[in-house]
Chain A
Amino acid sequence: MADTKTKKGKADRPAPHDFPSSPETPPQDPAWEQEGKPDLTPEERMQGLPQEKLRRMMRDMLLGRRFEEKAAEAYAVAKIGGFCHLYIGQEAVAVGGIHTLRDGDYVMTAYREHVHALQMGAHPNAVMAELYGRKDGMSGGKGGSMHMFSKEHNYLGGHGIVGGQIPLALGVAWKIKYRGEDRVMQVYLGEAAVNQGAFHESLNMAALWKLPLVVIVENNRFGMGTAWERASSLYDISQKASAYAMPSAVADGMDVLDVYRVVKPAVDRARSGGGPTLIEARTYRFVGHSMSDPVSGVYRTKEEVEEEKLNDPIRIYANFLAEQGILSQEELEKMDEEVKAISEAAAEFADKSPEPSPEELYRDVYANEDVAGRLFFDGRN
């Protein structure tokens, strides 16, 4: 597959399961195709999953895509403000990853989080209303794009400081073990977060105490404008786990079934007391880092993005399902109409939802306000 590409040196690059581990031989122009992925038959790829689930994965990715396209429109007309990081291109990771979970399991992620929230069962209306900063949003309008939460769905939120969510996820995994619960904690992070101390401290403790944690690194190759190979002395993220004697694996983050295939055993192991796993899902973001960034720029070319779009996880999966006779073109179009309508309705709902009232300003800063002393000091409340 790489041989057909014309980009310089591409064919010489190592396969993903075969990356050099030593900094002496850093790949300067890494392969992003999944040449190293095992060659599976269609049956093996489907892993015996029921057709209903296979179709549902398609529908969920499509909803993520259409929902965010709608959000982008709303951002363009200033109905959504602030930072808004879209997930377009990466849908296979959250959808494949979260489909391995059961009710009762937990998910936490960073600020690129709309699809994770949807996948955990948050209502599209509540997600969109949060983007609009309205009362009916997941965080009552106080969180916005980066800070959505839903206790009801065990969705523990979007976090804005790179790496900041990883120790929190450790704490959730700790609680599961502490209470002897039959649950798993999945935490998502960008590859750039792997360089933070928080990542290393957390992985060490997770492995030391065999906590039920699945760490999924969404390696979209760029932390803002810095390519991974310019930020890490070790190219292969999965190898970082070896410092903590932790199992690790690589998934094709553009293939929802491969994400499922790689994440599922890690979830099972965590559930059965086998401890944590580090998973690297190799993916690509088709859009700018956030809404205010150009799609390409100094750090990557337009041609590169166009080339990567040939690998669109949604189209690839739709083709696969069609070939297997599981979802016809007609059914796909119907599905697409359905998710477009949901996204459209979410925008209408958000538009009609009221702004939070001024009294909301001081609400929920403290859980226990019924104390003897004064809590606030700005002379306004």
Chain B
Amino acid sequence: MAVITYRDALNQALVEEMERDPDVFLMGEEVGVYNGAYKVSKGLLDRFGDMRVVDTPITELGFAGLGIGAAMVGLRPVIEFMTWNFSMLAMDQVWNSAAKLLSMSAGQFKIPVTFRGPNGAALQLAAQHSQALEAVYAHFPGLKIVTPGTPADAKGLLKASIRDDDPVCFFEGEMLYNIKGEVPEDEDFVIPLGVADLKREGSDVSIITHGKMINLVLQAAQQLEKEGISADVLDLRTLRPLDVDAILRTVAKTNRVVLVEEGWPYSGITATIAAIIQEEAFDHLDAPVLRVTQADVPMPYAKGLERLAKPSVELILEKVNRVLYR
């Protein structure tokens, strides 16, 4: 298997799906001539031409809606948000139309659109440019929510998202584009939506996470191993559909759970998972479920404050120690 970056894995997925299906097209700000603000779409304009790789004005609501309308009548648009921070201008289209058209039309209109782009904080970009927004999107039934944390997952899940007949919100980690990993070259390498991945086997504690945070959690797990604690690390990979069975399996195995997410805690993903565990696996718990999230504040610009606000390996270790009563 080739070792490639997260960015190139996404690029491969786009190329393969666009080759496979002429109804797939990519649209967004700077995706064409500029090769993508984060270079995910590098080379695609040359390869597929300007009806399939389309630069838009800065009009998030307009081009997101365009993607939904085109999907209603048979195309399979991939709509890039330069970052998910800017998707908020398009929320009405995604929440009120994409999420609900199938249901409102009693199944007449499928919406096979994929919205994708970088998500979460980068470095010192301050409050309006540093937001992990998957939890808000996950709130809406009708949307599928995908959060790959590794290059292979990025490729396999993007291919599955594009092939899926529902609207998919695909959250890439803004800091992940340069990370490398082994990625299958097989054109039919598709990771089904709704299947979590046990990224590391352990028996003392379960750490459950998704997206960019998997990399932080694996570092924490390594550190724990040095201290003689073995962690079961579950990467959810998709948040809707959610692999509840995998969650219940790891809880039954270790009886202690720490949940980690990049976003805010209130109404967050970890809040939902904690509730599910409490409802469906209470008898397996030997300790309260604990969570690590970003601080419950808008992200500050100053370097030191930003560091404090983000989830960290130290915070994960602290919570693990608490569920182990160490």
Are A and B physically bound partners? yes
What residues of chain A have their CB less than 8 Å away from a CB belonging to chain B?
81-83, 133-134, 139, 141-144, 146-147, 159-164, 192-193, 195-198, 223-226, 230-232, 297-299, 355-356, 358, 360-362, 365, 376-381
Q: Across the interface, name the chain A residue whose C-beta is closest to B62.
A: A197
Q: Are A224 and B29 in contact (CB under 8 A)?
A: yes
Are A82 and B33 CB-contacts (below 8 A) given A141-B300, A197-B59, A360-B300? Answer: no
Q: For residues 263 through 317 of chain B, which have their beta carbon under 8 Å from a beta carbon of chain A?
A: 264-266, 290-291, 293-298, 300-305, 308-309, 315
For the complex, give the distance between the alpha carbons of A369 and B315 in Å.
26
Provide a sorted-by-A list of 26 A–B residue pairs whose CB atoms are within 8 angstroms. Answer: A82-B301, A133-B302, A142-B126, A144-B125, A146-B129, A159-B128, A161-B85, A163-B58, A195-B58, A224-B29, A224-B34, A225-B33, A226-B57, A230-B55, A231-B57, A299-B33, A355-B304, A356-B300, A358-B304, A360-B302, A361-B295, A361-B297, A361-B308, A362-B297, A365-B297, A376-B297
Are A226 and B55 CB-contacts (below 8 A) given A83-B129, A147-B301, A298-B34? Answer: yes
Q: Are B295 and A224 in contact (CB under 8 A)?
A: no
Q: Are A134 and B302 in contact (CB under 8 A)?
A: yes
For the complex, give the distance between the alpha carbons of A134 and B315 in Å.
25
The one of A193, A226, A232 in contact with B30, judged by C-beta atoms closer than 8 angstroms, is A226
**Residues in B whose Cβ lies below 8 Å from that of A381:** 295-296
B61 contacts partner chain A, Cβ-Cβ < 8 Å: yes
B138 contacts partner chain A, Cβ-Cβ < 8 Å: no
Q: Are B126 and A224 in contact (CB under 8 A)?
A: no
How close is B36's CB to chain A, nearest CB, in angstroms?
Answer: 10
The one of B29, B30, B89, B302 in contact with A161, judged by C-beta atoms closer than 8 angstroms, is B89
| Pairs A-B, 8 closest by C-beta atoms | A144-B301, A82-B124, A133-B302, A81-B124, A141-B302, A225-B34, A160-B128, A195-B57
For the complex, give the distance between the alpha carbons of A307 and B278 in Å.
67
Q: Are A379 and B291 in contact (CB under 8 A)?
A: yes
Q: Are A226 and B29 in contact (CB under 8 A)?
A: yes
For the complex, give the distance between the alpha carbons of A195 and B296 in Å.
34
For the complex, give the distance between the alpha carbons of A225 and B55 in Å.
10
Are A82 and B125 CB-contacts (below 8 A) given A142-B301, A361-B308, A377-B296? Answer: yes
- Overall SS of chain A's interface: loop
How close is B53's CB to chain A, nearest CB, in angstroms?
Answer: 14
| Listed residue (B35, B57, B86, B124) with the most chain A CB atoms within 10 angstroms of its CB | B57
Q: Are A147 and B127 in contact (CB under 8 A)?
A: yes
Q: Are B34 and A144 in contact (CB under 8 A)?
A: no
The one of B58, B86, B129 in contact with A231, judged by C-beta atoms closer than 8 angstroms, is B58
Q: Are A81 and B123 in contact (CB under 8 A)?
A: yes
Q: Are A162 and B128 in contact (CB under 8 A)?
A: no
Not counting A81-B123, A142-B127, A356-B302, a sample of 9 additional A-B residue pairs whose C-beta atoms are within 8 angstroms of each other reads A81-B301, A143-B127, A160-B128, A197-B62, A198-B89, A225-B34, A356-B304, A365-B298, A380-B296
Q: Are B126 and A160 in contact (CB under 8 A)?
A: yes
The one of A133, A147, A193, A226 in contact with B34, judged by C-beta atoms closer than 8 angstroms, is A226
| Listed residue (B265, B296, B315) with the most chain A CB atoms within 10 angstroms of its CB | B296
How close is B28's CB to chain A, nearest CB, in angstroms?
Answer: 11
| Listed residue (B302, B305, B315) with the most chain A CB atoms within 10 angstroms of its CB | B302
Are A358 and B293 CB-contacts (below 8 A) given A160-B129, A226-B33, A298-B35? Answer: no
Q: Across the interface, name the chain B residue whose C-beta is closest to A139.
A: B301
Q: Are A141 and B301 in contact (CB under 8 A)?
A: yes
For the complex, give the distance between the alpha carbons of A142 and B298 in Å.
9
B244 contacts partner chain A, Cβ-Cβ < 8 Å: no
Give the number of residue pairs across the A-B interface with Cβ within 8 Å: 143
Are A192 and B58 CB-contacts (below 8 A) given A82-B123, A147-B127, A225-B34? Answer: yes
How close is B260's CB to chain A, nearest CB, in angstroms?
Answer: 12
For the complex, give the distance between the alpha carbons of A358 and B308 in Å.
8
B37 contacts partner chain A, Cβ-Cβ < 8 Å: yes
For the complex, give the distance between the alpha carbons of A196 and B290 in Å.
42
The one of A142, A164, A376 in contact with B296, judged by C-beta atoms closer than 8 angstroms, is A376
**Residues in A whose Cβ lies below 8 Å from that of B62:** 197
**Residues in A whose Cβ lies below 8 Å from that of B88:** 161
**Residues in B whose Cβ lies below 8 Å from that of A144:** 124-126, 301-302
For the complex, give the distance between the alpha carbons of A141 and B127 in Å.
12
How close is A43's CB to chain B, nearest CB, in angstroms?
Answer: 42
Q: Are B294 and A378 in contact (CB under 8 A)?
A: yes
Q: Are A162 and B35 in contact (CB under 8 A)?
A: no
Please, what's the 1-or-0 string for B41-60, where 1 marks a CB less than 8 Å from any CB in chain A? 00000000000000111110
Are A193 and B33 CB-contacts (below 8 A) given A146-B126, A161-B86? Answer: no
The one of B37, B58, B124 in contact with A196, judged by C-beta atoms closer than 8 angstroms, is B58
Q: Across the interface, name the chain A residue whose C-beta is closest to B60.
A: A196
Q: For residues 49 through 79 of chain B, which have their beta carbon under 8 Å from a beta carbon of chain A?
A: 55-59, 61-62
**Residues in A whose Cβ lies below 8 Å from that of B29:** 224, 226
**Residues in B whose Cβ lies below 8 Å from that of A230:** 33, 55
For the complex, give the distance between the alpha carbons of A193 and B58 in Å.
7
Q: Are A360 and B34 in contact (CB under 8 A)?
A: no
Q: For residues 22 through 40 of chain B, which have their beta carbon under 8 Å from a beta carbon of chain A?
A: 29-30, 33-35, 37
**Residues in B whose Cβ lies below 8 Å from that of A133:** 124, 301-303
**Residues in B whose Cβ lies below 8 Å from that of A223:** 57-58
**Residues in B whose Cβ lies below 8 Å from that of A380:** 295-296, 315
Q: Across the interface, name the chain A residue whose C-beta is closest to B298.
A: A365
**Residues in A whose Cβ lies below 8 Å from that of B295:** 361-362, 376, 378, 380-381
For the complex, give the distance between the alpha carbons of A299 and B30 in Å.
10
**Residues in B whose Cβ lies below 8 Å from that of A163:** 58, 89
For the complex, give the distance between the alpha carbons of A164 and B88 in Å.
11
**Residues in B whose Cβ lies below 8 Å from that of A355:** 302-305
For the complex, give the distance between the alpha carbons of A161 and B87 in Å.
10
Are A360 and B305 CB-contacts (below 8 A) given A223-B58, A225-B33? Answer: yes
For the complex, give the distance between the alpha carbons of A160 and B35 in Å.
23
Q: Across the interface, name the chain B residue whose C-beta is closest to A131.
A: B301
The one of B37, B126, B265, B303 in contact with A143, judged by C-beta atoms closer than 8 angstroms, is B126
**Residues in B whose Cβ lies below 8 Å from that of A162:** 58, 86
**Residues in B whose Cβ lies below 8 Å from that of A232:** 57
Q: Across the interface, name the chain B residue whose C-beta is closest to A140.
A: B302
Q: Are B125 and A83 in contact (CB under 8 A)?
A: yes
Q: Are B128 and A146 in contact (CB under 8 A)?
A: yes
How close is A31's CB to chain B, nearest CB, in angstroms?
Answer: 22
**Residues in B whose Cβ lies below 8 Å from that of A379:** 265, 290-291
**Residues in B whose Cβ lies below 8 Å from that of A195:** 57-59
